[in-house]
Amino acid sequence: MASDEILVHEVEALGQRLTEARTSIERRFVGQHAVVEQVLAAILSGGHALLVGQPGLGKTMLVQTLATVLGMDSNRIQFTPDLMPADILGSEVLDVLPDGTRAFRFIEGPVFTQLLMADEINRASPRTQSALLQAMQEREVTVSGQHRPLGRPFHVLATQNPIEQEGTYPLPEAQLDRFLLQIDVDYPDRDTEREILLATTGLGEGEAHRAFDPEALIAAQRLIRQMPVGEAVVEAILDLVRAFRPGSDESGGRVDDVLVWGPGPRAAQALMLVTRARAVLNGRFAPTLEDVEAMAAPVLRHRMALSFAARARGESVDGVIARLVGQRFGSQQAA
């Protein structure tokens, strides 16, 4: 069988497996199809995701369900201002051995897992946030001068409450950029909320079933990177990302008085990966312009900042993204 035929067969098999995983997740996390799609796309792309939404929208349950369905070990950290780096990375303790000698022994922290839920990550001090940053980017931690690699796979799903800012430490731009996607979890519509009520207030709730294991997930992540991407999609990604940079030729001055700074090359890399993942999630063998349009907001919204004048006019980052995406792709809905 030719290599292209093998790739098509593998992508088709992965798509079927992902359909099973998605169905299993949505038995418990009801109605939020776009959120489930975006979280799965982030993990399939090998990255981390920031979940932003009001309390009580099921973010914690989503992460727990993902761990079950993807067959990953998981830990949860509730971030607080007094949390120290050693509380998440681990520390060395001095042991007395049977022969009377003493030796240091490293006790692993909760970051040594496959799926880490960082709950209310902006409540941790900058010192603790920076410790997690190394783990996210380098897939290793440094304790007492020793580099300790984390296992594979390793993903961080962090949450933030957008309405409560007292006692919080906003994440620096460098750390926000390490999140592949910022996924906004909004209130469900009436029909979805009715379905949630009926599904979660009885004697039993929907159960999630395991559809992957860590080895299968790593293989899926490799396969995503092998998928072909058409030249039109590559050019659309470049055009879109560069259009949000103030002062660039591609922006044409449209964002010069709206944005202070725009997305860097990491945004284009993220968009390239998650469009491939979304294509597989929707049963396609290669990404299309529809995938670029759908994933633009979660990739870009945390990688730019509004100017003072734009905030004074009541503009929002999502509004700016929707306007430019609509102009680029001719989407009546985005425009």
Interval 38-83: pLDDT, tens: 999 999 999 999 999 888 888 888 888 999 999 999 999 999 888 9
- Domain boundary pick from 171, 201, 226: 226
Domains in the chain: how many in total?
2
- Domain boundary pick from 168, 196, 226: 226
Percent of the chain with pLDDT over 90: 45
- Assess whether pLDDT exceeds 60 at residue 118: yes
Q: Residues 66, 185: one domain? A: yes
Q: Residues 142, 239: one domain? A: no
Region of 232 (left: φ > 0; alpha: ψ -120 to 50; beta: rest) is alpha
Q: Residues 98, 197: one domain? A: yes
Task: Report d(CA 240, CA 129) in Å as an integer.
Answer: 30
Quickly tell me which residue has 């670029």 as its tokens: 292
- Lowest-confidence pick of 66-70, 151-155, 193-197: 193-197
Task: Report d(CA 282, CA 37) in Å as an integer.
Answer: 9
Q: Residues 176, 41: one domain? A: yes
Q: Residues 72, 175: one domain? A: yes
Q: Residues 214, 235: one domain? A: no
- Lowest-confidence pick of 2-6, 27-31, 105-109, 216-220: 2-6
Give the pLDDT mean for 267-294.
94
Closest CA to 19 of 194, 200, 256, 211: 211
- Assess whether pLDDT exceeds 90 at residue 172: no
Higher-pLDDT residue of 31, 220: 220
Q: Residues 46, 60: one domain? A: yes
CATH code, 203: 3.40.50.300
pTM: 0.89
Range of the domain at 133: 1-226
CATH code, 326: 1.10.8.80
How far does CA 220 lie from the centroid of its chain?
A: 17
- Assess whether pLDDT exceeds 70 at residue 126: yes
- Assess whether pLDDT exceeds 50 at residue 332: no
- Assess whether pLDDT exceeds 70 at residue 205: no
- Assess whether pLDDT exceeds 60 at residue 2: no
Q: Residues 87, 138: one domain? A: yes
Q: Residues 86, 233: one domain? A: no
- Assess whether pLDDT exceeds 50 at residue 1: no
Q: Residues 118, 235: one domain? A: no
- Assess whether pLDDT exceeds 90 at residue 229: yes
- Domain boundary pick from 198, 226, 254: 226
Q: Residues 211, 268: one domain? A: no
What pLDDT is recorded for position 105?
82
Higher-pLDDT residue of 147, 31: 147
- Lowest-confidence pick of 14-23, 175-184, 250-259: 250-259
Give the pLDDT mean for 266-273.
95
Q: Residues 257, 331: one domain? A: yes
